[in-house]
């Protein structure tokens, strides 16, 4: 059957307006019908077997290397910030919608009790009080009467703070003596700690959603007016996720999912769709962090220590790779090829396919050059203490070679006892804290799209308009989108990972500022 026969004239027009090719639509339909291939886990990466601890005696040297690069304007930060705060307030929505029927000992009951006890600790409490006061209501009266449904209404909905409709980056996260800061503002301040060049310039790029673009720009402009002090200035880039990265979905009968009006459903293609945004920025050494992984000023020095450390380690590895390219560009003698093979295995932890052992000298030389001329990333890894997220694994590739990858649970065949056991034996996970080198030895930018594993997609079951659908996401930005990068893992302490997945995470000690 020709899958494209399902498309009518309006469908083709909608597809063309988004900038998606018919071949891409056909590819998506076939993947959704066939299913995504699973990653082939060999074993988890552990300390000493894929994850490195940088000896303390090396820290000072690596700091100097990083600081020189930063002062020369080589560093910047890339922050995906298009996510909505809806999931952050999911529990409050559940409490609000079931307020009079909440059963004891449920998650909602425990959360409501905590809200009653610790409402004043939230960084947005003063703003909430003022908003309620502006409607002629006293928040203390609501608290004394136990009317927390009205308080939640003012937190979530348009009559109040309207947090349920904002992007996470605009939610107040930290309260200081004279101000309250959002994640956008905290990322800007954090950047002044380790990204400032000799001219005092800090470069940060945010990806945002179209519906909030103008509000976010106004917010950042306001922050710039306050933060341009002490010879510090900012170069803030903003980009949108391209409509050409949207994906289609299938219904329960394997047909294209259509909305009630008959039009095709297009969904955002996941964070992997941001590879194009990363590919478009004018960067060199790029830190990649999630919008919600920020801390107040009292913890920024410690965060900075480890960011500089992994940054310095990246630059040191990059220099070694460039030297190896220089050496191999002048010689492909058996002894030099042997040294090259030892380098990629011992330093870059790349295990060549078995057939490479018997390959000719020229074939080995080509293999080495291909492995050396790639973008590089150093990924921070923290001990697994129950937080959700992908983990570091040794993974077997289609060519039989073995490489280190960040793998999400959706990529693992959990019906295989062996694969499930390997997944569950992981000791560390990826906090989405990494530094990337995206220029080659001559200073030219890599085309990052060439280093993506297009088969490493995510398929999930969702619902829309009360109907089940099968959704497709592009290879994750730090999973399949970086599958063919030179990848190295470094252990860092858990203090470097402070995500805010729910509003109650703002009550964790790392986010409380007094």
pLDDT for res 410: 87
- To the nearest 10°, report the CA torsion of 370, 372, 373, 375: 120
Whether residue 383 has pLDDT greater than 90: yes
Which of 197-201, 398-402, 488-492 bottoms out in mean pLDDT, i.e. has the lowest?
398-402
Tens-digit pLDDT profile for residues 352-369: 999 988 899 999 999 999
Tens-digit pLDDT profile for residues 301-339: 999 999 999 999 999 999 999 999 999 999 889 999 999
Burial degree of 393 (CB within 10 A; 0-12, 13-18, 19+): buried
Cα 317 → chain centroid: 23
Secondary structure (3-state) at 43: strand
Report d(CA 326, CA 320) in Å as an integer.
10
pLDDT for res 182: 98
Residues 252-270 have a mean pLDDT of: 90
Query: H/E element holding 232?
Result: none
pLDDT for res 323: 96
Secondary structure (3-state) at 278: helix
Report d(CA 65, CA 370) in Å as an integer.
26
Q: Where are the beta strands (DSSP E) in 92-223?
A: 174-175, 180-181, 201-208
Residues 409-418 have a mean pLDDT of: 93
pLDDT for res 387: 65
Which of 79-83, 280-284, 297-301 bottoms out in mean pLDDT, i.e. has the lowest?
79-83
What is the average pLDDT value for the chain, to the nearest integer?
93
pLDDT-based confidence at residue 514 (cuts at 50, 70, 90) = low
For the record, the structure tokens of 157 come out as 């909905």
DSSP 482: G
Residues 238-256 have a mean pLDDT of: 91
pLDDT for res 268: 87
Tens-digit pLDDT profile for residues 441-486: 999 999 999 999 988 998 888 888 888 999 899 999 999 999 999 9
Whether residue 291 has pLDDT greater than 60: yes
pLDDT for res 6: 78
Report d(CA 486, CA 370) in Å as an integer.
11
Tens-digit pLDDT profile for residues 170-179: 999 999 999 9
pLDDT for res 505: 96
Q: Where are the beta strands (DSSP E) in 160-232?
A: 174-175, 180-181, 201-208
Predicted model pTM: 0.94
Cα 34 → chain centroid: 27
pLDDT for res 513: 80
For the record, the structure tokens of 10 come out as 């309006």
Tens-digit pLDDT profile for residues 56-86: 999 999 999 999 999 999 999 999 998 888 8
pLDDT for res 1: 52
């Amino acid at each position: 059957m020709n899958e494209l026969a399902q498309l009518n004239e309006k469908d083709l027009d909608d597809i063309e307006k988004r900038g998606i090719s018919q071949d891409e639509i056909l590819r998506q339909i076939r993947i959704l019908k066939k299913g995504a291939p699973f990653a082939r886990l060999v074993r988890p990466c552990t300390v000493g077997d894929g994850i490195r601890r940088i000896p303390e005696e090396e820290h000072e040297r690596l700091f100097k290397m990083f600081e020189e690069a930063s002062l020369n304007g080589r560093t910047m930060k890339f922050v995906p910030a298009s996510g909505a705060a809806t999931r952050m307030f999911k529990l409050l929505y559940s409490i609000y919608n079931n307020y009079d029927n909440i059963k004891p000992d449920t998650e909602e009951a425990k959360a409501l009790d905590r809200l009653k006890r610790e409402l004043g600790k939230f960084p947005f409490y003063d703003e909430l009080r003022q908003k309620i006061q502006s409607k002629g209501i006293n928040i203390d009266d609501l608290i004394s009467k136990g009317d927390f449904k009205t308080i939640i209404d003012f937190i979530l909905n348009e009559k109040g703070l309207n947090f349920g409709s904002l992007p996470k980056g605009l939610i107040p996260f930290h309260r200081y003596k004279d101000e309250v800061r959002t994640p956008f503002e905290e990322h800007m301040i954090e950047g002044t700690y380790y990204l400032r060049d000799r001219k005092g310039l800090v470069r940060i790029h945010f990806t945002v959603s179209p519906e909030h673009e103008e509000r976010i720009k106004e917010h950042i402009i306001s922050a710039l007016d306050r933060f341009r002090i002490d010879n510090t200035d900012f170069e803030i880039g903003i980009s949108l996720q391209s409509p050409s990265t949207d994906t289609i979905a299938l219904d329960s009968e394997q047909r294209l999912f259509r909305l009630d009006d008959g039009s095709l459903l297009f969904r955002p293609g996941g964070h992997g769709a941001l590879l194009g945004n990363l590919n478009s920025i004018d960067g060199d050494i790029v830190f990649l962090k999630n919008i919600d992984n920020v801390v107040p000023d009292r913890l920024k020095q410690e965060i900075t220590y480890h960011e500089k450390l992994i940054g310095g380690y990246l630059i040191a590895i990059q220099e070694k790779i460039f030297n190896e390219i220089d050496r191999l560009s002048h010689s492909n003698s058996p002894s030099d090829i042997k040294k090259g093979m030892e380098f990629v295995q011992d330093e870059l932890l790349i295990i060549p396919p078995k057939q490479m052992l018997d390959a000719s000298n020229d074939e080995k030389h080509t293999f080495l050059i291909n492995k050396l001329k790639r973008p590089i990333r150093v990924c921070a890894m923290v001990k697994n203490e129950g937080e959700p997220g992908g983990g570091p694994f040794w993974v077997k590739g289609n060519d039989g070679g073995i490489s280190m990858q960040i793998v999400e649970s959706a990529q693992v065949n959990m019906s295989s006892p062996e694969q499930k056991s390997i997944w569950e034996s992981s000791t560390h996970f990826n906090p989405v804290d990494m530094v990337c080198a995206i220029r080659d030895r001559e200073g030219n930018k890599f085309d990052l799209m060439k280093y993506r594993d297009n088969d490493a997609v995510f398929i999930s079951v969702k619902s829309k308009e009360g109907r089940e659908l099968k959704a497709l996401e592009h290879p994750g930005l730090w999973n399949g989108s970086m599958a063919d990068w030179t990848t190295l893992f470094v252990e860092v302490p858990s203090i470097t990972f402070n995500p805010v997945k729910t509003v109650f995470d703002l009550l964790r000690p790392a986010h409380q500022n007094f």
